[in-house]
Amino acid sequence: MSATGLGASVKRKEDIRFITGKGRYVDDINRPGQAHAYFLRSPHAHATIDKIDASAALASPGVAAVFTGQDIADDKLGGLICGWMIHSKDGSPMKAGAHPVLAQGKVRYVGDHVAVVIADTLSQARDAAEKIVVDYGVLPAVADPAKAVGGPNIHDAAPDNTVYNWHLGDKAATDAAFASAAHVTKLDLVNNRLIPNPMEPRAAVGDYDSGTDTITLYTTSQNPHVARLVLSAFIGLAPEHKFRVIAPDVGGGFGSKIFIYAEETVCAWAARKIDRPVKWTSDRTEAFLSDAHGRDHVTHAEVALDAAGKVTGLRVHTIANMGAYLSTFASSVPTYLYATLLSGQYNIPAIYAEVDAVYTTTAPVDAYRGAGRPEASFVVERLIEMAARETGRDPAEFRRQNFITQFPHQTPVIMAYDIGNFAGALDKALEHADYKGLPARKAASAAKGKLRGAGFSAFIEACGIAPSAAVGSLGAGVGLWESAEVRVNPIGTVEILTGSHSHGQSHETTFAQLVSERLGISIDNVSIVHGDTDKVQMGMGTYGSRSGAVGMSAISKALDKIEAKAKKVAGHVLEAAESDIEFKDGKFTVKGTDKAIDFASVALQAYVAHKFNGQELEPGLKESAFWDPTNFTFPAGVHICEVEIDPDTGIVTVERYTAVDDFGKLINPMVVHGQVHGGIAQGIGQALMEGAKYDEDGQLVTASYMDYTMPRADSLPSFTVDTIETACPSNPLGIKGCGEAGAIASPPAVINAITDALGHEDIAMPATPVAVWRAAQKRPRLAAE
Amino acid sequence: MHAFEYAAPASVADAAAALANEDAKVLAGGQTLLPTMKQRLAAPSVLVDLRKIDGLSGISREGDALVIGAMTRHADVAASKVVQDAIPGLAALAALIGDPAVRHRGTIGGSLANNDPAADYPAAALALGATIVTNKREIAAGDFFKGLFETALEDGEIITKVKFPLPEKSAYEKFRNPASRYAMVGVFVAKTKAGVRVAVTGAGSSGVFRHAAMEAALAGNFSPAAIAGVKTDASGLLSDLHGDADYRAHLVGVMARRAVEAAA
């Protein structure tokens, strides 16, 4: 391992730029003559729009234009799409209501887009928006997914507010397992609704060049090529060759910046319409109201055990809240990203899951860090912990008894796990967490009047979200490969063009480490180019922990081609047969001789092209590749959380948190640990603090940081983070992915710890102080009390 | 934010004159007012900035009282050796307000004049029997707080300083709102020559209030045990997403016991 190659904890190249304030985000971009957009949003959760009078707004100072849904319709611009088709049990396609860019005749959640005002300044746009008179016919709201069926109808296309009734697995076999079970554990749970809260809010600048009839859209996107594809092919904004999308530095996304939203669509469209650049930057309130939210499941789940403690069946029914419209990938989250992981790390012969997706008068719900997989691990790991407790078994040993140990393993819910070492992670986690010392620590807490408990989470996830043909067969509208181009310059420096997008993932460092390892050059001689459809031809972007496993594999494949070509050039320069050339540590040598040439010199020779016949060997050194994986990847691990509860206040303190994960081969352990830390923080946030709440009228009660609780540094202990390694067989680098693991693993670990401390299972997420205080009233008393 | 005029007078008298404009507002530290204006929930015609007026900030010991200028920032109160020696509970309270940015902008006068039901300083002022000094008069803390965001201040009246009689013992315990970290329940207890006072902030639906039953119980026996059985009536307490009135009533007891323990 070199100092900057694979496996080295290289400090992040991009951080100097970021911490000295030199990052360049969308809001930093200003174009000559730029106007500012302000969106008039619905104050009602559900209402007809009977009339819009914008005359006073149009006459306001500085106003260039006011547009409504009618203007969009007049221009024949299409609606926003959902790119994953799900079929119901009866074979019928999902029932998706129209998703207009600006509301047409009806609003369906607080924050829905009624009109846009474009003016010289944002203040002028806002002032003018206050003068727009909208006559609303207010309709009843429904925010709770469990009340959606039978509630006020939100879309004509979806009777009973039902998008689909989907299922997966073998119902008869599962029912049979339950019929013969020695013990059944049952659980009703809510997976709480979350608001993504990336540090940088969404933003867009549309810029139209009337000379070339070309639109450039700067946008906070995790996948600019997909944004261009959707806006071009489906919404009909402009053909792809007349439309450039740039996602520069992006300050976090957690999924919420995958999707194609109304605001960037309007900025790009309006820029052409008024022939002026149009800019919009979300304020934090708009982010709370209109970024796609995450989770929001209501679930009943059961697990069946035989007398020996072997899990024999799992049965799940989930109602998934889609919000008011189907966001870009919303339909896939509670189906193929959720129910396919319900086998967890366990050998479960029969599984049956039913999912009802419903519309409500709330912001759209879509993928959020983990996307379906945290919901699955919460169901599985809460059930497994409870089953162990109910049958008097140690939760660690009960898990071990049911672990899958033979690979590959075909689960009853589509996934074929390729490799893993679940017991290895468990053993290491038990040691790090000092599980043996738990009883003594519980006694010490009890002596102080405090309640202590520990909880496990043995999670598994499916990442990469590919092969393309496989996801296509499940309803995906796109392939989920990745592309790469390696451009070697004549002096031997390298530019990597990637379809992955870095918005916190450290690609500028980790991707350069791969090049450094392979070509034997310094990471300082490598630059990573991404996020611009004019520079990178095509790509699928970053989400689903796929940039390492899929994006880097594409780079690896292109580097294979670079190496093969460079060997040919080296053979000519060294006057040896290509088959006699060896490449190692950045040097080409002729086998068995001391004749050698370094990589940079070969690069120069490739472009000078004096030493070979240009008709037989093309000059230059530039290669590209597309990589389509052979399987999903399956990161897995065991997390153990230990909490102490103050029963007087209900405050839960996370005392210890241990994570032992198997991410396959690590590129940069420091970056991996950082990803795990961030994910755990978000998961602890979900378990203890975060929760979007709508009231009966559909108003978002938690629309600011005054009421929406985010995890903070002082809410968290120092984590113990370690890894084990089984190399992933489905990509050349052995990578599984690590971006979402922490957020997937931690919520059940925290809740299992709290319920252990309380001595009963009756606590929901978020386990806020008031909720825990109430739950603590119902607990068995301490001896000291 | 809507457009507004800005005035930066050099004297309290000029500031009072500027406040004669309709919808004029005093700008002290701006930690509540400016965010409210940005959200367009407040639209004053004139902001009268007190920062250019000499003599409105500073901390001094004057006989048996601690005197804090109205424009003194929370961070300065928290860090002041004079405050820490005279009324350690007050210095500790100031250190719990908001975050570092808020503490370096927000002022004691601004906090008292705003009388947010979840603010910290009202509890200290009420429990310590402070005197609020204005450009017109002196107002006892007990007469100053008049309900949610309401005070005895009249139009054009500006707080200039706050006088705290030195207590024998005092302490503040705060249960923070998990999201905002404002006081969900804050209890300031003070044992003074005038007796024991217990003031509760964050919980009351009419703002800060004194807890008579606890004061009576502590008068003869200043110990946590003395108030262990004292109940707090939940009617009249706030209920919200983060805690209903019953929970707040329970927390008043917990925080009061912890404050007495910290002070004793």
**pLDDT class for B261, splitting at 50, 70, 90?**
very high
Rounded to 10 degrees, the C-alpha dihedral B2/B5/B8/B9 comes to: -140
- Whole-angstrom CA distances from A168 to A172, A339, A355, A413, B212 are 12, 7, 9, 7, 63
The C-alpha angle with vertex B149 and arms to B147 and B150, in degrees rounded to 5, equals 55
Any A CB within 8 A of B35 CB: no
Name residue B112's beta-bridge partners: none
Tens of pLDDT, residue by residue over A696-725, are 999 999 999 999 999 999 999 999 999 999
Alpha carbon distances (Å) from A167 to A90, A303, A366, A412 = 10, 17, 19, 13
Please list, in sequence order, all residues whose beta carbon lies within 8 angstroms of the beta carbon of residue A725, skipping any fewer than 6 positions away. A662, A663, A664, A665, A666
- The residues, any chain, with a CB within 8 Å of residue A639's CB and separated by 6 or more, are A429, A456, A457, A459, A657, A658, A659, A660, A680, A745, A746, A749
Average pLDDT of chain A, as a whole number: 97
**Does B110 contact A at CB distance below 8 Å?**
no
| Minimal Cβ distance to A707: which of B40, B179, B251 | B179
| Cα nearest neighbour of B182 on chain A | A706
Alpha-carbon span A416 to A79, nearest angstrom: 37
Domain extents for chain A? Answer: 18-23+33-139+202-281, 297-465+631-777, 482-627
Q: Which two tokens stand for residue B120?
A: 């910290």
Cβ contact (<8 Å) for B180 and A707?
yes
What Cα–Cα distance (Å) separates residue A783 from each residue in A450, A520, A777?
12, 65, 15
> Cα separation of A619 and A569, whole Å?
9
Nearest chain B residue to A708 by CA distance is: B179
Asked if B225 reaches chain A (Cβ–Cβ under 8 Å), the answer is no
Beta bridge partners of B59: B68
| Average pLDDT rounded to a whole number, residues B143-156 | 96
Name residues whose C-beta falls within 8 Å of residue A429's C-beta, 6 or more positions apart in sequence. A637, A638, A639, A640, A658, A659, A660, A722
| Residues counted in chain B | 264
Average pLDDT for residues A74-89, to the nearest whole number? 96
Q: Are A779 and A444 in contact (CB under 8 A)?
A: no
Alpha helices in A700-758 (DSSP H): 741-758
At the top level of CATH, which class does the domain B59-165 belong to?
alpha beta
Average pLDDT for residues A186-193, to the nearest whole number? 98
Q: Which residue of A has its CA nearest to B257?
A: A648
Residues 6+ apart with CB under 8 A from A518: A556, A559, A563
Searching chain B, which residue's CA lies closest to the CA of residue A777?
B247
Q: Residue A688's Cα: distance from chain center in Å?
A: 21
CB atoms within 10 A of CB A356: 23
Which pLDDT value is given to residue B32? 95
In the predicted model, what is the mean pLDDT of chain B? Answer: 96
Nearest to A307 by CA among A184, A456, A187, A389: A184
Work out the pLDDT band at A322, boundaries 50, 70, 90. very high
A329-367: pLDDT as tens digits? 999 999 999 999 999 999 999 999 999 999 999 999 999
The pLDDT value given to residue A247: 98
**A721/A263 Cα distance (integer angstroms):** 39
Contact A648 B39 (CB under 8 A): no
Q: What is the mean pLDDT of residues B156-162?
A: 97
Q: How far apart are CA A445 and CA A402, in angstroms?
A: 32
Of A655, A621, A624, A662, the C-alpha closest to A641 is A655
- Reply yes or no on domain B169-263 having CATH 3.30.390.50: yes
The whole-angstrom separation of Cα A653 and Cα B19 is: 48
Report whether A25 contacts A84 (CB < 8 A). no
Contact flag B243-A769 (C-beta cutoff 8 Å): yes
Model confidence pLDDT, tens digit, residues B166-187: 999 999 999 999 999 999 999 9
Q: Quickly list H helices, A542-695.
A: 553-574, 599-608, 669-688
User: Pairing state of beta strands A526-529 and A494-498?
Assistant: parallel
Compute the count of residue pairs across chains A and B with CB atoms less than 8 Å apart: 41
Tokens 């689903």 identify what position? Answer: A544
Per residue in B191-236, pLDDT (tens digit) is 998 899 999 999 999 999 999 999 999 999 999 999 999 999 999 9
Binned at pLDDT 50, 70 and 90, residue A784 comes out as: low
Contact A661, A637 (CB under 8 A): yes
Tell whether omega for the bond before A635 is within 30 degrees of 0, i.e. cis.
Answer: no
Q: Closest Cα to residue A223, out of A255, A200, A194?
A: A255
Q: How far is B227 from chain A (nearest CA, A)?
A: 15
- Longest Cα–Cα distance of chain A, Å, equals 91
Q: Do the Cβ atoms of A770 and B244 come within 8 Å?
A: yes
Q: What is the pLDDT of residue A204?
A: 98
Q: Are B194 and B54 in contact (CB under 8 A)?
A: no
**Residue A179 burial (CB < 10 Å; 0-12/13-18/19+)?**
exposed
- Which one of B102, B180, B238 would you mutate to disrupt binding with A, by most A Cβ within 10 Å of its Cβ? B180
Asked if B242 has any chain A CB less than 8 Å from its own CB, the reply is yes
Evaluate whether A569 touches A606 at the Cβ level (below 8 Å).
yes
Report the greatest alpha carbon distance in chain B.
57
Q: Which residues of A660-680 are buried (b: 16+ CB within 10 A; e: fewer)?
A: bbbbbbbbbbebbbbbbbbbb
**Which two structure tokens, joined as six digits, stand for A365?**
């719900």
Shortest Cα–Cα distance, A601 to chain B (Å): 55
Minimal CA–CA distance to A330: which of A295, A301, A302? A295
Q: Give CA–CA dist B107/B59, Å, rounded.
A: 12
pLDDT at A782: 60
Confidence of residue A464 (pLDDT cuts 50, 70, 90): confident
* pLDDT given at position B1: 84
pLDDT in tens, A646-699: 999 999 999 999 999 999 999 999 999 999 999 999 999 999 999 999 999 999
pLDDT range class, residue A785, cuts 50, 70, 90: low
Which helix (H) or strand (E) covers residue B184, if one does?
Answer: strand B183-192
pLDDT-derived band of residue A474, with 50, 70 and 90 as boundaries?
very high
Residue B47 in 3-state DSSP? strand
Neighbours of A278 (CB within 10 A): 28
State both tokens at A311. Answer: 């899990």
B60 part of contact set with chain A, CB < 8 Å: no
Residue B1, CA distances (Å) to A28, A96, A122, B36 in order:
21, 39, 10, 9
Contact B242 A705 (CB under 8 A): no
Residue of B178, B180, B182 with shortest CB distance to A768:
B178
Q: Which residues of A fall below an 8 Å CB-CB distance to B?
A: 123, 126-127, 285, 648-650, 689, 693, 701-702, 705-710, 768-770, 773-774
Q: What CATH topology corresponds to A297-465+631-777?
A: Aldehyde Oxidoreductase; domain 4 (3.30.365)
Domains A18-23+33-139+202-281 and A297-465+631-777 share a fold: no
Q: Which residue has the tokens 């709370």?
A: A288
Tell me which CATH code domain A482-627 carries.
Answer: 3.30.365.10
Nearest to A312 by CA among A460, A457, A174: A174
Kindly state the percentage of chain B with pLDDT values over 90: 97
- Given a cut of 70, whether residue A457 has pLDDT beyond it is yes
CATH 3.40.1260.10 fits A18-23+33-139+202-281, yes or no: no
Joined together, the tokens standing for residue A174 give 């599962």
- Write the residue in A285, A709, A773 that is nearest to B247 by C-beta: A773
Taken as a whole, chain A contains a residue count of 785
Helix (H) or strand (E) holding B79: helix B74-79
Mean pLDDT within A90-119: 98
Beta bridge partners of B60: B67
CATH 3.30.43.10 describes domain B5-49: yes
Reported as a pLDDT band with limits 50, 70 and 90, residue A465 is confident
- A1 band by pLDDT with thresholds 50, 70 and 90: low
8 A C-beta contact, residue A569 and residue A600: no
For residue A466, name the pLDDT band (cuts at 50, 70, 90).
confident
Q: What is the mean pLDDT of residues B68-85?
A: 98
Spell out the domain ranges in chain B: 5-49, 59-165, 169-263
Q: Which residues of A422-446 are buried (b: 16+ CB within 10 A; e: fewer)?
A: bbebbbbbbebbebeebeebbeebe
